[in-house]
């Protein structure tokens, strides 16, 4: 019988692909048992063949073929043998690629590379597609064709490699694709993009922020070159800002704005030009004399303000001989030609522009000195004179163009108006007359006086000047008469001469220095001899320059028109000037000395000298002017200097910016600008008083509150006045379940919540803060949470405030507490019921046993009653039980000490530290701290562990402090969930004669950690010393003990034992009262 196999038995082929497993021939187990004919059950895939003469499978498949099981039979005369073989034809696998394989896309922007189609090379049909990891938001993957398409909506600035699989029955082909999504790139610009700024001057164009157009977030900024000193570039925001401090030629800067999408740029051109000072000449009007040096030359320009002038210019030709410095603006030289009055414009230039001023020049002729051979001439009527004709004498340069004389000559005398000659013979008597004769040209007039007298041998005299103007306290008068007649015997003058001046009665001379201002006065001077009297008339005026300064300096207000301020006295024909230059907007009248105008700039108190130049004399006067600021232009200066005379009528403005807050209020109310109406103090409660000078006040409706366990309507809202509160704190931590409104932006200091546990009356400190004014205020409230074991809204005991009805049945088991106490059942246990007989009396164990004997069914009935009652109670208390939490032990946040712990927060990393203690040899000690633990499950045992027990040898322990359990070593909370303890140390356990140091690491209920160091002293040498120390320690202990116990009792108030007694009494009273009411 034949036996054979095929290897492999599972033949997996690829469509249209030759396989190394073909041809597949059978393998015979015995060479002698070769089949003579072969049969294959089933149809092979197209392209495969089966040899019926040898059992061989061969060929190349040309169609896909799922796994198919075939049976091959080999037969010969010995019998038939068959085997099974599985044939599968999978598809061909093409190669997969993407082009491009590295995609850089812009966020929220369509890409020309998308959709990105998969490229398959080679035969084989893909049946499914997959990609990993997930594409960025906005991009999609075609699971039917491998196409990636869409518009990304999130950034992916680092390239992520994605794997794409194309699958068919032949397996999978893989392609890798890198995708980066960068940000959109907006455009940037600046307006203006050409900046011309002035050195050391703020520009209205700065700060200059970029204008960003389009989507995309700029992550950094750059600029290609260094900016002028003082100008900054914000690399975080692209802003150009600052004030330039150096000149800078025009330069174009390239500015980049960058993000993950690349860079965008723009050009900004910046130049820094110089400041332009103001220009002036003083004086600015010149009357030059031809061929004569002017004492004001060379004339330098006056530049006021910063800025360096680089060039100078003048608009037209100067008079011959006068030069202009184009490098410094100076005028110099000597005029050599007559010149009509001409106005010139002078420019001072720099990179910032030009400043200009005007100056006037006129060149007049030289004026020769005019004299006559005689100053006076005495003529005899109808007689000739040897000196006649009298010809003028001219000394110096200058051509006379006309002549004039001041009065009419005596009859017979003539005046030559073309040559100034006096000639003729007088034909009438003529008193001495002083004539002024003028020789005129463009330079003015040269004059002299000539006294002419025609008399008949009578006295005659004259003075060289007829009209004299003197400067008070300055000018010196020295005037002597000229006699042109007979001998003069006596002199007189009328009226009396001015103070300081004198008239000599012996010779008729006038002299002295005037000491009093006086208007023009005509004096009659008489000369007398035996023949007669001759009089001479002389006009004398005493003047000075004077402004009224009786009220001190002039204090003006910026932008407010000043009252004209002129001299009360001064020369008649004076030309006025002032130095230094007046503040902007003020002017001085050159012909009258009046200061007028509207000051447009604030100016410090400045000394000004006023110049009055006249033909008679030159004078100066000093005044002081200050221009005060008036920010709101209400006519009242912001500040009035203390030296200002009140009679000037200046009223200081108490609200400089007119924002309805006085300057003093703005100063007191924080960093506000009293000169800026938009900068006003903070007044959060809008009561017209700023927060900085208000007092923050908070209060709650009452000082003492009382709540009950499970109460749901608690809401203590504070009343706030003075300013807003932006932060709240409360200390200590509220009882479990109570919340404080301090942990959100809308925190309001409200106390709310549902109290879970009993809490004794405690004082809580609430602190409210206002961060703007750095204000804080503290208030205290007291409240307690009274017990309600069955959560029925009635208190278990009487309360301090008496706000809640007392519950007669605390555990709600249907039996009043007084009955349960009488019958020894637990009034706080829902499953502890009193045993009562039919009359409602308590059953003892003896009476219960006797009753059961008498009535066998009683026990069965009692059991049934108990079960029924139990089931009904379960339904009643199920809800209450769900509201009770598991046991809560000692937690660090609910532990305090008196006196306070030295440090720590009670955690394992920062344990509470008790004050170190030194203990005499072989004695005991207690910690000075009384440790109060609150928030514990009522009547719960507390676990005490000393981690250093092995070293400390049991020397450390704890005892209850205060209350009926005081001194007990078994630690347990009271019915209010509170426990007060002291740590104790027993040095009598294996005492160390040389003394030792012990460190306790105490843990209460696994959560609260405390440390205490105790040092024992050496053993004393004598028993007497030891006894004395023990006695002293005993006395100290006895002195301190009452105080400490008192503190503990206060901490545990009300006293536990007292409460228990009170509760029992109250319950009894209540029960009796209710029973009494029912009977009635």
State mean pLDDT over 733-753: 79
> How many residues in the chain?
1080
State mean pLDDT over 808-821: 84
Better pLDDT: 1064 or 841: 841
What does DSSP assign to residue 216? -
Inter-CA distances, 744 with 28, 685, 741, 747, 748, Å:
88, 21, 7, 5, 9
Least confident of 29-38, 429-438, 641-650: 29-38
Look at residue 792 in the predicted model and tell me its pLDDT. Answer: 87
- Tell me how far apart the alpha carbons of residues 984 and 925 are, in angstroms, rounded to a whole number: 6
Supply the angle between the helices 856-883 and 845-854 in degrees, to the nearest 10. 130
Q: Is residue 258 pLDDT above 80, yes or no? A: yes
Look at residue 1056 in the predicted model and tell me its pLDDT. Answer: 37
State mean pLDDT over 484-496: 86
Contact 461, 483 (CB under 8 A): yes
Split at pLDDT 50, 70, 90, the class of 847 is low
Split at pLDDT 50, 70, 90, the class of 1068 is very low
Contact 198, 167 (CB under 8 A): no
Look at residue 851 in the predicted model and tell me its pLDDT. Answer: 53
Look at residue 846 in the predicted model and tell me its pLDDT. Answer: 60
Tell me the pLDDT tens digit for each residue of 309-332.
Answer: 999 999 999 999 999 999 999 999
State mean pLDDT over 345-359: 93
Tell me the residue ranges of DSSP E strands in 351-429. Answer: 353-364, 369-372, 376-380, 392-395, 402-405, 413-415, 422-424
Q: Is residue 945 pLDDT above 50, yes or no? A: yes
Split at pLDDT 50, 70, 90, the class of 526 is very high
What does DSSP assign to residue 563? P
Share of the chain above pLDDT 90, in %: 54
Phi/psi for 1062 (5° steps) reads -60, -40
Split at pLDDT 50, 70, 90, the class of 852 is low
Look at residue 854 in the predicted model and tell me its pLDDT. Answer: 53
- Tell me how far apart the alpha carbons of residues 1045 and 965 are, in angstroms, rounded to a whole number: 12
- Tell me how far apart the alpha carbons of residues 832 and 812 are, in angstroms, rounded to a whole number: 11
Q: Is residue 663 pLDDT above 80, yes or no? A: no
Look at residue 261 in the predicted model and tell me its pLDDT. Answer: 86
**pLDDT, averaged across the chain:** 85
**Residue whose entry in the numeric block shows the structure tokens 């699958």:** 167
The structural domains of the chain, ordered by start, are 4-90 (2.60.40.10), 95-182 (2.60.40.10), 187-273 (2.60.40.10), 288-364 (2.60.40.10), 366-456 (2.60.40.10), 465-542 (2.60.40.10), 554-648 (2.60.40.10), 693-786 (2.60.40.10), 817-883 (no CATH), 892-1022+1045-1061 (2.60.40)
Look at residue 132 in the predicted model and tell me its pLDDT. Answer: 94
SS (H, E, C) 111-154: CCCCCECCEEECCCCCCEEEEECCCCCCEEECCCCCCEEECCCC
Look at residue 963 in the predicted model and tell me its pLDDT. Answer: 66
Tell me the pLDDT tens digit for each residue of 912-934.
Answer: 999 999 999 999 999 999 998 98
543 CA to centre of own chain: 64
Better pLDDT: 382 or 528: 528
Better pLDDT: 54 or 975: 54
Look at residue 886 in the predicted model and tell me its pLDDT. Answer: 60
Phi-psi region of 872 (alpha: psi -120 to 50; beta: other; left: phi over 0): alpha
Look at residue 848 in the predicted model and tell me its pLDDT. Answer: 55
State mean pLDDT over 945-959: 92
Q: Is residue 373 pLDDT above 50, yes or no? A: yes
Least confident of 417-431, 605-619, 720-734, 836-850: 836-850
Tell me the pLDDT tens digit for each residue of 1007-1032.
Answer: 999 999 999 999 886 444 444 444 44
CA–CA–CA angle 363, 324, 342 (5° rounding):
35
Give the list of residues 6+ apart from residue 369 with CB closer than 8 angstroms, or none.
Answer: 394, 395, 396, 446
- Tell me how far apart the alpha carbons of residues 150 and 946 are, in angstroms, rounded to a whole number: 69
Look at residue 30 in the predicted model and tell me its pLDDT. Answer: 77
Tell me the pLDDT tens digit for each residue of 860-893.
Answer: 434 443 443 344 333 333 333 333 446 789 999 8
Inter-CA distances, 764 with 700, 738, 760, 958, Å:
12, 12, 12, 28
State mean pLDDT over 433-458: 88
What does DSSP assign to residue 1068? H
Q: Give the H or E element holding residue 1048.
A: helix 1023-1052
CB atoms within 10 A of CB 349: 16
Look at residue 878 in the predicted model and tell me its pLDDT. Answer: 39
Burial environment of residue 810 by CB neighbours within 10 A (0 to 12, 13 to 18, 19 or more): buried
**Residue whose entry in the numeric block shows the structure tokens 């794997």:** 163
pTM over 0.75, yes/no? no
Q: Is residue 949 pLDDT above 80, yes or no? A: yes
Split at pLDDT 50, 70, 90, the class of 456 is low
Look at residue 1037 in the predicted model and tell me its pLDDT. Answer: 43
Contact 223, 254 (CB under 8 A): yes
Q: Is residue 444 pLDDT above 90, yes or no? A: no
Q: Is residue 1053 pLDDT above 70, yes or no? A: no
Tell me the pLDDT tens digit for each residue of 379-410.
Answer: 877 778 889 999 999 998 888 989 999 999 99
Split at pLDDT 50, 70, 90, the class of 175 is very high
Burial environment of residue 1003 by CB neighbours within 10 A (0 to 12, 13 to 18, 19 or more): middle
- Tell me how far apart the alpha carbons of residues 390 and 372 are, in angstroms, rounded to a whole number: 7
Give the list of residues 6+ apart from residue 994 with CB closer than 8 angstroms, or none.
Answer: 1018, 1019
């Amino acid at each position: 019988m034949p036996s054979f196999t095929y290897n492999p038995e599972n033949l997996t082929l690829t469509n249209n692909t030759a396989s190394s497993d073909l041809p597949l021939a059978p393998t015979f187990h015995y060479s002698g048992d070769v089949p003579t004919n072969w049969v294959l059950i089933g149809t092979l895939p197209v392209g495969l063949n089966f040899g019926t003469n040898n059992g061989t499978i061969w060929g190349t498949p040309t169609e896909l073929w799922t796994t198919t099981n075939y049976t091959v039979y080999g037969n010969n005369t010995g019998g038939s043998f068959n085997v099974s073989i599985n044939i599968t034809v999978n598809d061909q696998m093409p190669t997969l690629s993407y082009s491009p394989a590295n995609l850089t896309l812009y966020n929220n922007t369509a890409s020309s590379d998308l959709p990105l189609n998969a490229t398959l090379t080679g035969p084989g049909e893909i049946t499914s597609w997959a990609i990993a990891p997930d594409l960025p938001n906005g991009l999609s993957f075609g699971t039917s064709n491998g196409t990636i398409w869409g518009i990304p909506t999130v950034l992916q600035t680092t390239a992520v490699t994605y794997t794409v699989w194309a699958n068919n029955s032949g397996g999978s082909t893989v392609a890798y694709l890198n995708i980066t999504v960068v940000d959109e790139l907006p455009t940037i610009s600046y307006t203006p993009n050409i900046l011309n700024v002035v050195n050391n001057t703020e520009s209205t164009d700065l700060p200059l922020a970029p204008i960003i157009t389009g989507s995309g977030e700029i992550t950094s900024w750059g600029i290609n070159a260094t900016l002028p000193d003082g100008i900054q570039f914000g690399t975080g925001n692209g802003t150009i800002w600052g004030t330039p401090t150096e000149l800078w030629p025009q330069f174009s800067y390239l500015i980049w704005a960058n993000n993950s999408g690349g860079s965008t740029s723009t050009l900004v051109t910046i130049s820094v030009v110089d400041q332009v000072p103001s220009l002036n000449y003083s004086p600015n009007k010149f009357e030059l004399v031809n061929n004569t040096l002017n004492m004001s030359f060379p004339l330098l320009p006056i530049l006021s303000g910063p800025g360096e002038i680089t060039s100078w210019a003048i608009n037209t030709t100067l008079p011959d001989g006068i030069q202009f410095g184009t490098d410094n603006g100076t005028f110099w030289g000597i005029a050599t030609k007559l010149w009509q009055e001409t106005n010139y414009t002078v420019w001072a230039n720099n990179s910032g522009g030009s400043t200009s001023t005007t100056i006037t020049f006129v060149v007049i002729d030289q004026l020769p000195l005019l004299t006559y051979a005689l100053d006076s001439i005495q003529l005899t009527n109808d007689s000739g004179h040897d000196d006649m004709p009298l010809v003028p004498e001219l000394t110096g340069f200058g051509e006379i163009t006309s002549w004039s004389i001041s009065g009419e000559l005596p009859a017979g005398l003539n005046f030559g108006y073309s040559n100034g000659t006096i000639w003729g013979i007088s034909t009438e008597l003529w008193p001495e007359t002083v004539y002024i004769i003028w020789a005129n040209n463009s330079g003015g007039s040269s004059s002299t006086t000539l006294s002419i007298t025609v008399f008949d041998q009578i006295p005659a005299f004259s003075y060289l000047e007829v009209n004299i103007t003197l400067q008070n306290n300055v000018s010196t008068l020295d005037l002597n008469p000229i006699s042109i007649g007979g001998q003069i015997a006596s002199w007189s003058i009328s009226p009396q001469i001015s103070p300081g001046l004198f008239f000599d009665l012996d010779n008729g001379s006038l002299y002295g220095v005037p000491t009093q201002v006086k208007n023009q006065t005509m004096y009659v001077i008489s000369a007398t001899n035996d023949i007669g009297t001759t009089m001479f008339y002389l006009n004398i005026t005493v003047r000075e320059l004077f402004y009224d300064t009786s009220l001190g300096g002039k204090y003006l207000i910026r932008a407010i028109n000043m009252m004209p301020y002129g001299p009360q006295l001064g020369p008649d024909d004076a030309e006025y000037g002032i130095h230094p230059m007046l503040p902007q907007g003020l002017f001085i009248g050159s012909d009258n000395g009046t200061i007028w105008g509207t000051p447009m700039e604030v100016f410090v108190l400045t000394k000004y000298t006023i110049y009055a130049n006249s033909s008679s004399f030159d004078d100066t006067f000093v005044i002081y002017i200050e221009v005060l600021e008036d920010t709101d232009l209400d006519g009242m200066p912001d500040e009035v200097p203390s030296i200002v005379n009140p009679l000037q009528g200046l009223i200081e403005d108490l609200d400089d910016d007119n924002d309805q807050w006085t300057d003093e209020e703005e100063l007191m109310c924080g960093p506000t600008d009293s000169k800026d109406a938009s900068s006003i103090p903070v007044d959060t409660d809008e009561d017209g008083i700023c927060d900085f000078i208000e007092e923050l006040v908070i209060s709650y409706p009452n000082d003492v509150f009382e709540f009950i366990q499970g109460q749901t309507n608690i809401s203590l809202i504070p009343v706030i006045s003075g300013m807003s509160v932006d932060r709240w704190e409360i200390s200590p931590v509220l009882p479990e379940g109570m919340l404080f409104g301090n942990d959100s932006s809308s925190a309001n200091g409200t106390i709310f919540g549902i109290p879970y546990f009993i809490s004794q009356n405690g004082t809580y400190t609430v602190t409210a803060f206002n961060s703007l004014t750095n204000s804080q205020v503290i208030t205290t409230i007291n409240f307690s949470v009274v017990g309600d074991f069955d959560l029925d809204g009635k208190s278990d005991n009487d309360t301090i405030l008496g706000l809640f009805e007392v519950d007669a049945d605390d555990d709600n088991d249907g039996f009043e507490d007084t009955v349960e106490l009488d019958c020894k059942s637990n009034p706080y246990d829902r499953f502890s019921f009193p045993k009562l007989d039919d009359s409602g009396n308590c059953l003892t164990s003896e009476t219960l046993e006797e009753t059961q004997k008498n009535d066998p069914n009683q026990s069965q009935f009692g059991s049934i009653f108990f079960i029924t009652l139990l089931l009904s109670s379960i339904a009643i208390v199920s809800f209450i039980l769900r509201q009770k939490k598991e046991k809560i032990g000692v937690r660090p946040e609910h532990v305090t000490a008196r006196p306070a712990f030295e440090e720590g927060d009670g955690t394992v990393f920062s344990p509470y530290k008790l004050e170190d203690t030194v203990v005499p040899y072989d004695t005991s000690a207690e910690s000075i701290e009384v440790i109060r633990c609150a928030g514990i499950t009522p009547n719960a045992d507390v676990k005490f562990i000393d981690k250093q027990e092995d070293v400390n040898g049991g020397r450390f322990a704890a005892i209850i402090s205060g209350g009926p359990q005081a001194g007990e070593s078994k630690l347990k909370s009271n019915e209010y969930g509170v426990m007060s303890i002291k740590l104790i140390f027993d040095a009598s356990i294996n005492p160390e004669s040389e003394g030792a140091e012990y460190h306790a690491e105490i843990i209460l209920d696994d959560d609260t950690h405390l440390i205490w160091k105790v040092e024992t002293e050496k053993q004393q040498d004598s028993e007497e010393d030891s006894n004395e120390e023990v006695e002293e320690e005993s006395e100290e202990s006895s002195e301190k003990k009452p105080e400490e116990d008192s503190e503990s009792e206060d901490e545990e108030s009300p006293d536990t034992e007292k409460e228990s007694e009170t509760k029992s009494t109250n319950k009894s009273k209540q029960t009796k009262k209710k029973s009494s009411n029912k009977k009635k």
